[in-house]
Amino acid sequence: MQEDDADESDVPADAQAAASGVLGVDDNSGEGSSGGKKNLAQVAKGAIFREVVLAKVREAKEQEKVAQVEKDAADKAARRYGD
């Protein structure tokens, strides 16, 4: 499926300008207003950490869903064949 390029997009239309604004990077100098490369490295590490945590949460939810389906199937089988 294709996603619409509507307002619900997670990526802003001008992603580079938005990233520069978040990082405090001046488009002319290339350095941040509060630390430059060090700040960029901290932001990158934070973003990576966030993605890892979100992936772990998604994985845990998926495992929980699988366990629930297996439990429901076992209960259904026990009721069907337990009589």
Residue range 43-61, pLDDT digits in tens: 999 999 999 999 999 999 9
Q: At residue 24, does pLDDT exceed 80? A: no
- Of 57 and 27, more confident: 57
Beta bridge partners of residue 32, listed in sequence order? 25
Domain boundaries of the chain, sorted by first residue: 35-83
**Ramachandran category for residue 3: left, alpha or beta (phi over 0 → left; psi -120 to 50 → alpha):** beta
Torsion of CA 54, 58, 64, 65, to 10 degrees: 150
